[in-house]
């Protein structure tokens, strides 16, 4: 799964990197080195022009949006369902009721510096459970990860029609089996979308039967993983130091 990641790039840098047409955010997000579920994150989406439906849209606008991590389907009674819908499995994303409508029309890219996974070590806690060592996994070339995601727009029935907060934008990360080099840390990993496939993935009019072909695990060797401080396990901790490689003498084995 992908349950924690880092996102420190500025909105204006993401606009340039992802060739965004419009910045649709009320205020920029602060750099976040410990992004956890229910937090606000950046998402790149393509929306049809105002007044057009996705099936007939022409000239869709690529936008940078702020969304809540944890997908809230349009039929949900409240936002709490999103707390457990942070990941969607590639193997079932096109069929599961919670995801299939978003997969068909509302796909996004979720920019990240990298993501965290926890490896169960031979050591145990006082409760007898395996002590876990966190690893940070990032592109070896220092670039951004463009994680494949879905987004939804949920209307809060308790809010008035003229309430600007009545619509909640939310997202989920699509995951797949981890490639061999990373599989020993965790058996799942986020799916990446290569730059030459961004337009096809974001296109709200794309034929659904071709979408899964656009998603690929990172190429072997493209990502690097290294141990980091267990401080990242506490969501209250933040800061660039969480991405620093842990000295070998401090790594739990």
Catalytic residue status for 171: no
Q: What confidence score (pLDDT) does residue 56 get?
A: 45
% residues pLDDT > 70 (the chain): 91
Catalytic residue status for 179: no
pLDDT tens for each residue of 112-135: 999 999 988 888 877 778 888 999
Enumerate the β-bridge partners of residue 224. Answer: 138
Residue 253 lies in a domain: no
Mean pLDDT over 206-219 rounds to 79
Number of structural domains found in the chain: 1
% residues pLDDT > 90 (the chain): 62
pLDDT tens for each residue of 147-177: 999 999 999 888 888 887 789 999 999 998 8
Question: Do the beta carbons of residue 228 and residue 242 sit within 8 Å?
Answer: yes
Q: Is 114 left (phi over 0), alpha (psi -120 to 50) or beta?
A: left
pLDDT tens for each residue of 60-97: 899 999 999 999 999 999 999 999 999 999 999 999 99
Residue 52 lies in a domain: yes
- Catalytic residue chosen out of the listed positions 46, 117, 152, 171: 117
Question: Do the beta carbons of residue 101 and residue 208 sit within 8 Å?
Answer: no
State yes or no: pLDDT of 251 exceeds 80.
Answer: no
Q: pLDDT grade, residue 233 (50/70/90)?
A: very high
Residue 240 lies in a domain: yes
Residue 161 lies in a domain: yes
The whole model's pTM is what? 0.91
Residue 110 lies in a domain: yes
Nearest in space to 46 (alpha carbons), one of 57, 35, 33, 32: 57
- H/E element, 12: helix 11-17
The whole-chain average pLDDT of the chain stands at 88
Residue 183 lies in a domain: yes
Task: State whether the Cα torsion 165-59-191-98 is positive or negative.
Answer: positive
- For residue 106, give the CATH number of its domain: 3.90.1680.10
Mean pLDDT over 203-226 rounds to 82
Helix (H, G, I), strand (E, B) or coil at 246: coil
> Which stretches within the chain are classed as H helix?
11-17, 100-105, 180-183, 198-202
Range of the domain at 203: 5-248
Residue 16 lies in a domain: yes
For residue 103, what are the contacts with CB-CB under 8 A and spacing of at least 6?
88, 93, 94, 150, 208, 211
- Catalytic residue chosen out of the listed positions 2, 46, 108, 171: 2
- SS3 helix, strand, coil % of the chain, rounded to 5? 20, 35, 45
């Amino acid at each position: 799964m992908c349950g924690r990641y880092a996102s420190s790039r500025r909105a204006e840098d993401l606009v340039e990197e992802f060739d965004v047409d419009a910045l649709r955010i009320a205020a920029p997000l602060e750099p976040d080195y410990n992004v956890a579920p229910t937090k606000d994150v950046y998402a790149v989406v393509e929306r049809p022009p105002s007044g057009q439906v996705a099936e007939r849209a022409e000239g869709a606008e690529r936008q940078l949006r702020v969304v809540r991590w944890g997908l809230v389907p349009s039929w949900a009674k409240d936002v709490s369902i999103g707390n457990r819908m942070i990941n969607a499995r590639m193997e079932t994303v096109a069929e599961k009721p919670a995801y299939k409508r978003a997969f068909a029309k509302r796909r996004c890219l979720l920019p990240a510096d990298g993501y965290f996974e926890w490896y169960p070590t031979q050591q145990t806690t006082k409760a007898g459970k395996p002590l876990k060592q966190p690893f940070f996994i990032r592109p070896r070339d220092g670039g951004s990860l463009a994680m494949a995601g879905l987004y939804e727009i949920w209307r809060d029935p308790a809010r008035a029609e003229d309430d600007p907060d009545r619509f909640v934008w939310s997202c989920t990360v699509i995951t797949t089996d981890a490639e061999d080099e990373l599989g020993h840390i965790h058996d799942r990993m986020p799916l990446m979308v290569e730059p030459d496939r961004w337009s096809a993935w974001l296109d709200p009019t794309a034929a659904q039967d071709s979408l899964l072909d656009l998603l690929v695990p990172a190429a072997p060797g493209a990502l690097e993983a290294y141990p980091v401080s267990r401080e990242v396990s506490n969501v209250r901790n933040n800061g660039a130091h969480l991405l620093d490689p842990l000295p070998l003498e401090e790594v739990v084995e």
